[in-house]
A = this chain, B = another copy of it.
Amino acid sequence: MNAVIRAVTRSSILNGIRVMGVRRGYNGLISGDIFEMNLRTVSDIIHRGGTILYTARSPEFKTSDGISRAVEVCNDIGIDCVIAIGGDGSFRGARALSEAGIACMCIPGTIDNDIACSDYTVGFDTAINTAMEMIDKVRDTAQSHDRCSVVEVMGRRCGDIALHTGIAVGATAILVPEVKYDLERDVIERIKFTQRIGKKHFIIIVSEGLKNIAKISEGIQKIMGIESRTTILGHVQRGGSPTVRDRVIASEMGCYAVELLLKGIENRVIVVKKSEIVDIDINEALDMKKKFNRELYERALKISI
């Protein structure tokens, strides 16, 4: 987040554009919690987790009254364009704002990688590395105790965190919202198979969206007779100093957004497509459906034995 804010601020000012920081998302746009930013406002923030602008949901912004007030505030202060960083909700807000006459740019920033229009969302790489490091530690205990560890990672609607961390930690099974699972076939059978070839501890990764981690763990313990423990990684995955990849892509997206503005292009979402930064229309972006990387999922199953 901070890397985007920094890149937008600096490349704007360098091109003679003034930048205002809006605190706590659309709430700040309604209440006028807005301040002018300069080159030094964004010093020493690129390595910090969280966001210097704070964040919050804004139910009021979903009403036409909320939108009107925000437009008024923008006009009063002289804000021509709003750059929104976030997920689908933030993009829908931006679209509403653009329909009311304030130009918008959207930058995908969620840890879940759950935005259909972009191959990558800022925050994902940091989240998966944090999750992996924690599961690597859980592994030490699982191994010392010959145990099964069932670990819930974030990802309500999108299994990408589970898939990538699952591959990275060598999970025996990976359960994601995109693929229906059968405990017997997708977990028990896989444990049995690897047990036969000598494996004594097992890690099962489960996406938050599946919600029955305790039942899965009990099922394993009952059917297999192996001690099984659950761990919910939780909010730890949301914080921490960002990885290089997140800092670099965030910086690129921030620069790219300002480059578009300078060309007079508006109401776009900045996305990663096949490892390049490009832009697409907000409406188009919101209509797209996220595809799950089935091929990667199949490969994961092949080598986690």
Write the A110-150 contact mask toward B (1 if CB under 8 angstroms, else 0).
Answer: 00000000010000010011101110111111011110010
Q: A232–B232 contact, CB under 8 A?
A: yes
Q: A63 in the interface, Cβ–Cβ < 8 Å?
A: no
| Contact residues in B for A125 (Cβ distance below 8 Å) | 244-245
Check if B51 sits within 8 Å of A164, measured CB to CB: no
The answer on a CB contact under 8 Å between A303 and B235 is no
| A235/B138 contact (C-beta < 8 A), A167-B247, A197-B39, A245-B245 known | yes
A144 to B7, CA, bound (A): 19
A221 within 8 A of B: no
Chain B: minimal CB distance from A54 (Å): 5
Across the interface, do B240 and A51 meet the contact criterion of CB distance under 8 Å? no
Give Cα A233 to B233, complex, Å. 7
Number of copies: 4
**In the docked arrangement, what's the CA distance between A128 and B125, Å?**
13
Contact status of A132 and B244, CB under 8 A, knowing A56-B146, A144-B54 = yes
Asked whether A239 is an interface residue with its Cβ less than 8 Å from the other chain, the reply is: yes
Known: A141-B50, A168-B46, A169-B46. A302 touches B11 (CB 8 A): yes
A168 and B248 contact, CB distance less than 8 A: yes
Contacts of A90 in B (CB 8 A): none
A18 CB, nearest partner CB in chain B, Å: 15
- A interface residues with partner B (beta carbon < 8 Å): 1, 6-7, 10-11, 14, 24, 38-40, 43-44, 46-51, 54-56, 119, 125, 128-130, 132-134, 136-141, 143-146, 149, 164-165, 167-170, 194, 197-199, 229-241, 243-245, 247-248, 251-252, 254-255, 274-276, 296, 299-300, 302-303, 305
- 22 inter-chain pairs at a CB distance below 8 angstroms, sorted by A residue, are A6-B170, A10-B302, A10-B305, A11-B299, A39-B305, A47-B168, A50-B144, A55-B144, A128-B244, A132-B247, A137-B236, A138-B236, A138-B238, A139-B239, A140-B238, A141-B235, A164-B244, A168-B248, A233-B236, A243-B243, A251-B300, A255-B303
